[in-house]
Amino acid sequence: MINYLYHANEPYPEIRVENKNQYYAEILMDDYAGFISEFSAVSQYMYHSLKSVKSIEYLSNMWRNISIVEMHHLDILGQLITLLGGKPIYRGSFSTSCQYWNGNFVYYGDNICNQLNADLKSEYQAIYNYENHICMIDDKYIRENLKRIILDEQIHIKYFESAIKKFC
């Protein structure tokens, strides 16, 4: 279940597409499991949560809850990819030369401040990528979903910025 503090209040749009389109599916594969992707975010934030669970419970819970929201984004993208006629396998597309996802896509970090700064940077990069993909994809339903995901990423930025101010 998603903790409502960690995502925007607006409802998620219906998950649908105008038509099958393999090219659009390939674009979304980078958001799904590329270098800067929902799969990478889930993995990175869960690692950071597990590493901080004994030291700072607030951060551990924050990372865990944000990870759950990112998992929801992963599900949305996987469904869109499937509806477009693609296969939601764990690989990127253009950003990775179709390389399968691997643990090197995660920034593990050696301390909390490095982790938080890397997470903040990845959220900004994710928004940038989504905005580019919105311009590339001429499907109103996909665009609605990507715009909604961006709203959550903006919430995550606020949490990471606040945590950096408090703990770094």
What residue ranges do the domains of the chain occupy?
Answer: 20-167
Q: Can you point out the beta strands (E) in the chain?
A: none
How do residues 66-93 score in pLDDT, each as one tens digit? 999 999 999 999 999 999 999 999 999 9
User: Does domain 20-167 correspond to CATH entry 3.40.50.720?
Assistant: no
Does 160 score more than 70 pLDDT?
yes
| Residue 98, pLDDT score | 87
Q: What is the pTM of this model?
A: 0.95
Which has the minimum average pLDDT: 27-36, 48-57, 86-95, 135-144?
A: 48-57
Tokens of 63: 């990372």
DSSP letter string over 139-163?
Answer: -HHHHHHHHHHHHHHHHHHHHHHHH
Report pLDDT for 110.
Answer: 86
- Give the bridge partners for 100, in sequence order: 91
